[in-house]
Amino acid sequence: MSERRFSQAGSRLVVAHRGASAEQPENTLAALERAIDVGASAVEFDVRLTADGEAVVMHDPDVGRTTNGSGLVRDLTLAQVRALRIEGTDGQTHDVPTLTEALALLSGRAAVDVEIKNIPGEPDFEPERERAVEALLEALNAVAFLGPVIVSSFNPLSVARSRALAPDVPTGLLTEYGVDAEAALAYAAAHEHPWVLPFVGKVREAGPRFPAAVHERGVLLGTWLTDEPADAVALFASGVDAVATNDPRRIVAACAEAFEA
């Protein structure tokens, strides 16, 4: 297995959320490729399982918002998902990528943040098993992925399962809009997750000392989500380690001007 470490404190990672989704359809290979083109430090995408247990890159449990089809990913076979089309802004259409395709595209070119979608309350939630986690860890080895990796999820059980199966692969605990950043940090630190990933509004509410408090616990701090360059620069200047954005082009340019002048 290749080196899986994901950053160090102070490295200012610009994370392309679902790829460069401000410019290309989210979670497509085109969006992942564009993220690399514009200089994103890391590329984030989401993973769900099809009816026949294949891992594909899709944010929603239902394919209706982003494709020309309908139905739950878990009720469609891989062949059915692959027949769907995602419309681009330039008139081109795109496939729903498989996890293997996404990893192969990014290997050796960017860090990856793979968000596991097995969320309580969603229609495809599987409480008894973390098959998407298992599929990801298998795919990383099958592809011989080169580069840093983080496994993230809003489901604490998903990141716990990843940590149990592959403790060398860093994990990050995502928390929802209403969860205080301090509570997220306490949980992440207690369960030895290297990253805590609260909502950006909660990071601001926690005050200017919060990034230092995170680092004092031996944890790294990422946050989601901002597309405003000045906001991202301020977050990095305060000590935040990673900022997720739909618009990495603008954030990368702003950070270059602010920190590399």
Show which residues are catalytic. Answer: 17, 59
Structure tokens at 178: 């209403």
Structure tokens at 221: 């701090």
Whether 6 and 72 have beta carbons less than 8 Å apart is answered as no
Which amino acid, residue 209? R
Quickly count: other Cβ atoms within 10 Å of residue 170's Cβ: 23
What are the backbone angles phi and psi of residue 87, rounded to the nearest 5°? -80, 130
Residue that has been written with the tokens 């630190």 in this structure: 189
Q: 142: helix, coil or strand?
A: helix
The rounded distance, in Å, linking the Cα atoms of 133 and 75 is 19
The rounded distance, in Å, linking the Cα atoms of 138 and 105 is 16
